[in-house]
């Protein structure tokens, strides 16, 4: 009875396992964090709630392009991922997806995302999304990640592009408030990622990836994290006069900034894996809450 059940259940489970493996290639958790910044940017650009169809179209295009970039990233990094304990369970080192299939999948998603955005949103949003793919794959993944301890500083620009896409989706332009939001995500990325790198520096060292903790040590990295977190606070406040926000956003920026800086100070005083992961989690909530506050402020200010 049990043997017969296994024979009939395996074929049913296989498509789900394959689908799950391809979904993992897109790094859905990272995509969700990127899209968290897109919608508030659209709300601020519109000074209200854009049409629902436009929000959905932009998010679908963003998911496709970001998913494609992440799949190609895993194709390029498959040798590194096989060495690192944190990434060893990914579909390629786990031999659940063939490398060629992962590459084709990533390219198809990227092309589909570009076409979708160009047809349903506008060409500028589509071009910005494709620029993010190219920068992430060629500048960060294929070049900087393996050659420079400043890899995430420069390469992090790709993760800041979704705010530009969101703004462009509404206005078909990229104005100064959008660039300030870009600067916020750009400045947030190094302390966010370096906190994770402190926790997994052994992995990066084994894989030969020159992440800052591997090259400069934990203490130096912790000082850099604190410096970036501190600089981030005034950058977030720039949006107040430039975008003419109300008082909800700057108040949230100050409180959340203090929370982030406080976590960075704690890490500098006691540089442990536990404090590094605590700061990493704080950084995720920080960005999500900051952009949520921006959206709420805009909706309240313009009486939506």
Structure confidence at residue 13 (pLDDT) = 62
- Tell me how far apart the alpha carbons of residues 37 and 252 are, in angstroms, rounded to a whole number: 16
Q: Which residue has the tokens 């442990």?
A: 272
- State the virtual CA torsion across 88, 94, 96, 100 in degrees, nearest 10: 80
- Tell me how far apart the alpha carbons of residues 241 and 253 are, in angstroms, rounded to a whole number: 13
Number of domains in the chain: 2
Cα–Cα distance list, 104 to 23, 25, 54, 97 (Å): 14, 12, 28, 11
**Pair 3, 151 in one domain:** yes
The domain of 152 spans: 1-171
Q: Can you give the pTM of this predicted structure? A: 0.94
Q: Centre a 10 Å sphere on the Cβ of residue 301 and count the other Cβ atoms it contains.
A: 18
Contact 192, 225 (CB under 8 A): no
**Pair 219, 95 in one domain:** no
| DSSP code for 97 | S
Contact 87, 63 (CB under 8 A): no
CATH number for 241: 1.20.120
Name which of 125, 128, 105 is nearest 117 in CA terms. 125
Structure confidence at residue 49 (pLDDT) = 96
Instruction: Give Cβ neighbours of residue 281 (< 8 Å, ≥ 6 apart).
Output: none
**Pair 162, 147 in one domain:** yes
**Pair 155, 303 in one domain:** no
**Pair 162, 190 in one domain:** no
**Pair 146, 263 in one domain:** no
Name which of 73, 88, 80 is nearest 209 in CA terms. 80
Structure confidence at residue 4 (pLDDT) = 47
**Pair 7, 155 in one domain:** yes
Instruction: Give Cβ neighbours of residue 7 (< 8 Å, ≥ 6 apart).
Output: none
**Pair 57, 31 in one domain:** yes
pLDDT tens for the chain, 304 residues long, are 444 434 444 554 688 999 999 999 999 988 888 889 999 999 999 999 999 999 999 999 999 999 999 999 999 999 999 999 999 999 999 999 999 999 999 999 999 999 999 999 999 999 999 999 999 999 999 999 999 999 999 998 999 999 999 999 999 999 999 999 999 999 999 999 999 999 999 999 999 999 999 999 999 999 999 999 999 999 999 999 999 999 999 999 999 999 999 999 999 999 999 999 999 999 999 999 999 999 999 999 987 6
- Tell me how far apart the alpha carbons of residues 147 and 242 are, in angstroms, rounded to a whole number: 37
Structure confidence at residue 302 (pLDDT) = 87
Q: Centre a 10 Å sphere on the Cβ of residue 252 and count the other Cβ atoms it contains.
A: 19
């Amino acid at each position: 009875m049990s043997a017969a059940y296994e024979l009939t259940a395996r074929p049913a489970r296989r498509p789900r396992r394959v689908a799950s493996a391809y979904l993992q290639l897109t790094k859905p958790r990272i995509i969700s964090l990127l899209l968290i910044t897109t919608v508030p940017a659209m709300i601020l650009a519109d000074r209200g709630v854009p049409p629902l169809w436009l929000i959905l179209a932009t998010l679908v295009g963003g998911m496709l392009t970001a998913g494609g970039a992440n799949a190609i990233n895993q194709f390029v990094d498959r040798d590194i991922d096989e060495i690192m304990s944190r990434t060893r369970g990914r579909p390629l080192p786990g031999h659940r997806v063939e490398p060629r299939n992962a590459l084709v999948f990533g390219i198809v998603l990227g092309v589909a995302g570009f076409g979708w955005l160009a047809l349903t949103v506008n060409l500028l949003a589509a071009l910005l999304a494709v620029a993010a793919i190219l920068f992430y794959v060629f500048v960060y993944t294929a070049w900087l990640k393996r050659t420079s301890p400043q890899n995430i500083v420069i390469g992090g620009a790709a993760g800041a592009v979704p705010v530009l896409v969101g703004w462009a989706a509404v206005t078909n332009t990229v104005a100064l408030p959008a660039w300030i939001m870009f600067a916020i995500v750009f400045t947030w990325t190094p302390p966010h990622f370096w906190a994770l790198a402190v926790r997994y520096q052994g992995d990066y060292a084994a894989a030969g990836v020159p992440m800052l903790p591997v090259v400069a040590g934990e203490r130096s990295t912790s000082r850099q994290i604190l410096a970036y977190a501190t600089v981030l606070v005034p950058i977030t406040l720039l949006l107040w006069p430039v975008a003419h926000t109300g008082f909800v956003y700057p108040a949230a920026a100050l409180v959340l900034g203090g929370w982030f800086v406080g976590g960075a100070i704690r890490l500098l005083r006691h540089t442990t894996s536990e404090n590094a992961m605590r700061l990493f989690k704080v950084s995720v909530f920080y960005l999500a809450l900051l952009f949520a506050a921006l959206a709420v402020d805009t909706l309240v200010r313009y009486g939506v």
